[in-house]
Structure 1
Amino acid sequence: MTEEPRIQHCNLSGLLHPFTAGIFGRSEILGLNGSSDAWFTAGLLARKEQDQFLLVVTSGQAEAQRFYRALSFYHGRQSDILFFPHWETEPYAPLSPHPEIEATRLATLAALANGRGKAVVTTVKALQQKVLPRNILDSLRLQLEVGSEIQREVLLQGLSSLGYQRAALVEDRGSFAVRGDLVDLFPPMLEQPVRLAFFGDELEEIRSFDPVSQRSSDQHLVRLELAPAREMILAGSHLETFTRRCKERCDDLEIPRSQREAILSEVREGLLGPGRENLLPLNYAALDTFFDYLDRFCCLILD
């Protein structure tokens, strides 16, 4: 005889009590309407004593965004709540993910690699897609600190190697601009772009600025750690890996040399045509899964 599931009725405050010491096994909670699911999850984050990370999985992007905003509100510390969206493009479609989506994904991966955050909200589709290897992300860092010295060409080369695109004005994440002794850039993990002021090779000031008015704010930073701005790093050994594997794959598929060289010519110039992000597996010897960025976690699935 099959045992019937045991149903226990209680209010939300009472429901949180059994989870105070942690989440173990499998539990199903019904009847959480509106934003009560986010309120309940914020209660879990506030009460659980162990160092488990909370992974929240939703069925779609809109639901993930709703839950992320609600959980950030109820938890009260937005830096603890991370968001990892999927690309919103169909596989192999000649379309590129929106720069804001790619920036959000990279900021979340960087935070997880550094052990920051308490929860991450994502989607089933995002978990299915492999990502930039964690060991490569850890190795691709550029440290800047007020008072330190760095040669202009070294800095610009470093930004290019991290996937930053040079522009006339910095308005989007992952771009940088040079104007005399000023270098503007928009790191993926920051809410606003920053302006680096140099005196010769010495970094005198790091200040945030408004991307719309281009006016500097009163917010100063002492140091800045830059992570990659794109998931595909087309510089150095990674460019060599991409070139070699692209040639091998084109030969396997008997793709004409003219088409192969057109792709490689774009890549060598640091340009990516629409949909080229689907060539990410050729950029590295192997990709990681999102779970490779999570050490010890419990999972909450929203249905």
Structure 2
Amino acid sequence: MQSLARRLEQGGALSCAGVSRAAQPFLAALVRHLFPERPLLVVTEGLKTQESFLQDITTWTSTLGPEPGEAPARTAPPSQLLFYPSWENLPHEDRRPHVDVIAERLETLVALARYDSRPGSAPLIVTSVAALLQRTFPRERLQQQTRSLSRGERVDPLDLVEWLEGLGYEPEAQVTQKGELALRGGILDLYPVTSPWPVRLEFFGDELESLRHFDPLTQISREEITTVTIPPAGELGLLKKLPPADSSGKKASADGDSGMRGLATLLDYLPPQTVLLLCEPDQLDERAREYAAQVPAADRFFIDWADFQSQALVCGLTQLSVTELEQTQGQQDLPQERLELSIQSLDPF
């Protein structure tokens, strides 16, 4: 483990063989334990693996404690676990992704856009290779389209409703689903897609007097809150409304900022000290090829997997490839240093 820690500190690309698939969440939790202040992006081959990985790593990150004799101050702080799924449909199809998928993607993007390297705030993101091939909002655009409201703030309810509708929120007589809003006099009910509960905003003129969660089934108000964060209510639908000249898919630069003109990838939200953990690279390559075969040529919402990995290294991310088998020749296209680890799960008693 000491050699792994030293090598990760140096950066670049390296690979670890001999790590069973069941033990790979433990290795990810160990990397988090060794480097609690560095964001960690775990890439899996598909949704089922992504979901089980998140469950396992949640267990391991809460289990790992300080080494014998280690001061408590050096233990890993609670990590911010984020789940970044792929759209369950292709961008050129007419139907839109499910609201829960958009909610999880936007929750991740908003958290990364607000990441400021404070102690204990380093995110741990579990994603799939298909999700990384799908372009999204540029970071600056998402920041402009995300708003926080606090009690006592002054805002015209009608102007707020107009702004929300422009971000994809749908007016309804009663709010029951994410992405809906309802204005009744001086009361605005709103269900932000990243919020576990809808929010009731009560205005006196243009002053926001109170904010409360409420039950979408009974419509009864719950606990009072002091602030609410409101991101866009959609992603793919809003991206399609951008004119092609403003969505050219410009590559990420070395500082991870794609600028306002191009669509972005998750790389544009990650700082250079991020560790990119690739689980079973052969399978990732295969899933990436399968996805690319379904995408029309020159699709502006698509980035090639090889390009993504190359840009990750250009942006300064440390790339760790993990496999339970010996490294294949195909995985040696990018310069990598090889480490041998042996982590196996125990047979059940």
Compute the TM-score of the two structures, normalised by the length of structure 2. 0.62
Aligned counterpart, 2:279: 302
How far is the alpha carbon of 1:233 from its aligned partner? 7.2
Deviations 1:47-77 (A, max 9, x none): 215x431110000011112212332343348
Instruction: Give the secondary-structure state (helix, strand or coil) at the position aligned to 1:27.
Output: strand
Q: Against the structure 1 CA distance between its residues 192 and 110, is the aligned structure 2 distance closer, same or farther, given a 3 Å change threshold? A: same
Unaligned runs of 5+ in 2: 63-76, 116-120, 247-259, 281-349
Higher relative contact order (CA 8 A, sep 6+): 2
Q: Against the structure 1 CA distance between its residues 117 and 227, is the aligned structure 2 distance closer, same or farther, given a 3 Å change threshold? A: farther
Aligned counterpart, 1:111: 111
| Native 8 Å contact 1:175 1:186 kept in 2 | yes
The counterpart of 1:290, out of the listed 251, 256, 266, is 266
Aligned length: 244
Work out whether 1:195 is the aligned partner of 2:200.
yes
Compute the TM-score of the two structures, normalised by the length of structure 1. 0.71
AA aligned to 2:277 is L
Aligned counterpart, 1:186: 191
Q: Where do residues 1-303 of structure 1 align in structure 2 (5 Å cutoff)?
A: 15=1, 17-20=2-5, 23=8, 24=11, 25-34=13-22, 36-48=23-35, 51-76=37-62, 80-115=80-115, 117-218=122-223, 220-231=224-235, 242=243, 285-296=261-272, 297-303=274-280
Measure, in 2, the Cα distance between the counterparts of 1:158 and 1:140.
Answer: 9
AA aligned to 1:121 is V
Percent identity between matched residues is: 32
Aligned counterpart, 2:292: none
Q: Against the structure 1 CA distance between its residues 30 and 194, is the aligned structure 2 distance closer, same or farther, given a 3 Å change threshold? A: farther
Measure, in 2, the Cα distance between the counterparts of 1:37 and 1:175.
Answer: 39
Deviations 1:164-210 (A, max 9, x none): 12123322222212233321112122222211122232211111122
RMSD between aligned alpha carbons? 2.8
Deviations 1:90-143 (A, max 9, x none): 353332211111121112111111115421111111111111111211222323
| Native 8 Å contact 2:112 2:123 kept in 1 | no
Measure, in 2, the Cα distance between the counterparts of 1:93 and 1:184.
Answer: 31
Unaligned runs of 5+ in 1: 1-14, 247-283
**Worse-superposed segment, 186-195 or 125-134:** 186-195
Instruction: Give the secondary-structure state (helix, strand or coil) at the position aligned to 1:190.
Output: coil
How far is the alpha carbon of 1:211 from its aligned partner? 2.3
Q: Against the structure 1 CA distance between its residues 46 and 31, is the aligned structure 2 distance closer, same or farther, given a 3 Å change threshold? A: closer
Measure, in 1, the Cα distance between the counterparts of 2:212 and 2:33.
Answer: 34
AA aligned to 1:170 is V
